[in-house]
Amino acid sequence: MWFCVTDSIANGSASALLQSKAVINPGTDDQLDLTGYRNDVLKKITFYVLVVCTLGFILLVLYWKPELDCYLKRKECPLYCADVILVKDKYGGFTDVVEVQLISTTEDKYDASVSYQEADGTISDGGESDDRSQLVKTSTVAGKLRCFDYQHYRYVWDVQRGAFRELDDLSTNTTCKFIHESVNGLTSEQRKSRLTIYGENAIDIEVKSYWRLFIEEVLTPFYIFQIASIILWLFDEYYYYAGCIFFVSALSIGVSLCETKKQRITLRDMMSTATINIMVADGEEGYVEIPERQLVPGDVMVVPAHGCVMTCDAVLVTGTCIVDESMLTGESVPVTKTPLTHQDDQELYSPEVHKRNTLFAGTHVVQTRYYGTAKVLAVVVRTGYCTAKGELVCAILYPKPLDFKFYQDAIKFILFLAVMASLGMAYSLVMYIRNNAEVGQMIKRLLDIVTIIVPPALPAAMTVGTVYAQNRLKKHGIFCISPPRINFCGRINAFCFDKTGTLTEDGLDMWGVVPCDNAHFHEPQHDPAQLPRGPLLESLATCHSLTIINSELNGDPLDLIMFNAIKWHLEEPGADTSKYDTIMPTVVRPYSRDTFLGEEHPYEVGIIRQFTFSSSVQRMSVITRTIGKDHMDIYCKGAPEKISSLCKPETVPHNFQHVLHKYTVQGFRVIALAHRALEPKVTDKVECDLTFLGLLVLQNQLKPQTTPVIHTLQKANIRTVMITGDMIQTAISVARNCGMVRQYDKIVIVNGHPPDKEHPAARIEWELAEAAEDPELVDDESESATDEGYRAIKVLECEPRTHLAVTGRAFSVITNHFPELMPKVCVLGTVFARMSPEQKCQLIENLQEYDYIVGMCGDGANDCEALKGAHAGHLTV
């Protein structure tokens, strides 16, 4: 987005400029409804008169309803000239009145979107076609940036569109090419200008005083009603009862204040980092040191060789880093971050898509790897609360409102009691008038009816119960970041589990390798170290992202099991030997080198480039060079169905699916391996035309506590669901072993096929997981989800103990082409396999739409979005 930062609005759309209302991020969870207001002198005078007439009670009403502040003191006006803006979120949980700021500029030329290159041209309209690599000339007139801050995010006035929009950074509408061209960094003047616009790179969490917390806690409608009730009881001489309620309320307020203060201090300490200086590239002076708080989007920082804790989001452009991301994802295994590739410079950069190239704020860089004397450089793309760490903090500070039916029913119940109280008061009033009762006595008795029907002690009881439950959870090592959700955990009726690391053990056991040669499978080799020299052995030795940290081999558990099984040695050059070989920074070789020393060159393989695993493509690859060979090789490892699709058809055995099914149905985890020799001048895509090498088979045992927990949930009539990225047959086997699916229950596998050239219409297929136990159902297996395809659904409705096992591909096809089937899938689905992180979150949302109160249990990493989207997310660490 490009914004002209003058105070002029000459270029704005006339119709847009006259609008007093607008919507930012429509249709998303971040949707905001804006209304502009200007100060009105006559309304302010009337308001102050009203304050005097109501003895200040109107101020309390304004505290509860901030929007009334605008209605009573200001008048609605177009957004471009508004003094304040009424902001409402999508859920109605947060409403605030924010002031519009005018930030003065210190330079003649700058823009508010961090793409600061200049050339002749016109100002972009900030639309979807906006490309950060284009050279755009901003206004040459020194002016002011019109903006407002809401929940730590800044929104700026877009002159071209005549509307407010979120301040952009390098994480949106920025091409990879532009990022690579930004390695020279910013000048001091550019940095100063951006610091004015973006603010400091800091996440400062305010810790409110006890007095302020007390005022905020007491000034709620329930507590005001309670105070009024206590005063009434004192006038009515209910001293003991009033004293008892006062004591309980004071105790609950005190406990609540202490817990709130303690949690806020804990959160502040967890998120704070020591302020240090960081070296950045300066367009004029080479490299300079600046405080981390002064980092801005576009800065090029030098990642320290000894590691550091990231305070911003930055994309790696040179070198590699070993990063501990447990603080953000809960994943205890360090991950390898590689530089942003040049494969498609016109591709837009995205922190989600390019997460393997991005260093996120809050993560710990354990080690860096570089070539020769080159520095490890990263371009800063987001700072402050806009970072991944900042988003986590904002999710804690401003949680998504609990929009549960329980809350709605509670409000309806209170309203019902209020109606009953009104009827009782009306009847009593008539009776008192008939009996000529005293006015004072009449008022006390009428108000007493309200305190009897609507319980004044309700907020105190809720607070004490929540705090007590929170302390019990803490004693069991469970830290709760959203205490209000505790009240609804007892209403959970569906609980979803990740498989690997949650239902099953974190570690894997090597079962064996199934070699393939000339499109034929050989007998399994249970000791991979005995494999003959060749591509299969080299694929096991190189196709991983292992690294050495503190003299120990670290990485993904699967990679560790695979590499240790072949008994090879991995060597990484240290800082003092980094010049030894700039082509092969990592070398693997057999421990017993004599085995392969009968030739001119020793048997050593160098890992030249890693393409780390991505759940979106379901594979990882490495490019290697074996000493003595005149070419390079690429090795791929990943999901069998994905790897087989990248191989030459003539190299894949005809019984591939049968052999794969044989292992996965037993619960084994199966990984496919493939290889290709690269020509010296190859420039096209290399992950194609591969030669299939075989299967890596691993065992994944259930955790001892898995089956008892599943059994306990089922006894409580809580539905259990598995959501995993593993293969469907493996997931089904684990579901049966843990009792999620009983041994005599039937499972129908749902496969999906999106439209293609041969089949222009999307198809859904139903297949009985067991060996054709029901011929009638099997006959319907290949029916598309048309009128005939619904016969399978009808069979399922007649069989109460039939479960659906849905693949991620089928889930996508149903979502896009057969949404009418989604209710059946959500109600009958027990196993969801090959699900991407986005699909996991989408399934959680679908279950919620069908009135399920959903819990989610996972171990982080790919489960983060699903954990946040569930009514109750349980992260196991």
Q: Which residues contact 468 (CB under 8 A, 6 or more apart)?
A: none
Q: Is the CB of residue 595 less than 8 Å from the CB of residue 530?
A: no
Q: Of the listed 168, 169, 498, 633, which one is catalytic?
A: 498
Q: Is the CB of residue 331 less than 8 Å from the CB of residue 364?
A: no
Helix H or strand E encompassing 404:
none
Exposed / middle / buried, residue 596 (Cβ in 10 Å: 0-12, 13-18, 19+): middle
Q: Is the CB of residue 572 less than 8 Å from the CB of residue 547?
A: yes
Reduced to 3 states (helix: H, G, I; strand: E, B; else coil), residue 117 is coil
Position 202, amino acid: A
Q: Where does 69-218 show beta strands of DSSP type E?
A: 74-76, 84-89, 95-99, 101-104, 144-150, 153-158, 163-166
Scanning the structure block, which residue is given the tokens 């609008």?
19
- 675: β partners: 635, 691
- Structure tokens given for 875: 């992260």
Specify the DSSP class assigned to residue 340.
Answer: P
Tell me if residue 498 is catalytic.
yes
User: Which spans in 651-704 are helix H?
Assistant: 656-664
Q: Is the CB of residue 546 less than 8 Å from the CB of residue 565?
A: no
- Give the span between the Cα atoms of 265 and 271, in whole angstroms: 10
- What are the angstrom distances between the C-alpha of 220 and each of 61, 215, 434, 459? 10, 9, 37, 10
| Torsion sign, CA atoms 271, 272, 274, 279 | positive
- Structure tokens given for 337: 């971050």
- Structure tokens given for 151: 């929940």
- Give the span between the Cα atoms of 68 and 55, in whole angstroms: 17
Specify the DSSP class assigned to residue 781.
Answer: T
Helix H or strand E encompassing 424:
helix 405-434
**From the DSSP assignment, how many helices (H) and strands (E) are in the chain?**
27, 38
- Structure tokens given for 232: 């009434």
- What are the angstrom distances between the C-alpha of 200 and each of 62, 105, 204, 384? 33, 16, 10, 7
**Radius of gyration in angstroms for the set of CA atoms belonging to the chain, rounded to a whole number:** 32
Can you list the pairs that 277-284 forms with residues at least 24 positions away whose Cβ atoms lie under 8 Å?
278/302, 278/304, 278/308, 280/185, 280/186, 281/183, 281/184, 281/185, 281/186, 281/377, 282/185, 282/186, 282/187, 282/188, 283/184, 283/185, 283/186, 283/187, 283/190, 284/187, 284/188
- 89: β partners: 32
Q: Inter-axis angle of helices 221-235 and 439-453, to 10 degrees?
A: 140
Q: Which active-site residues does the annotation give?
A: 498
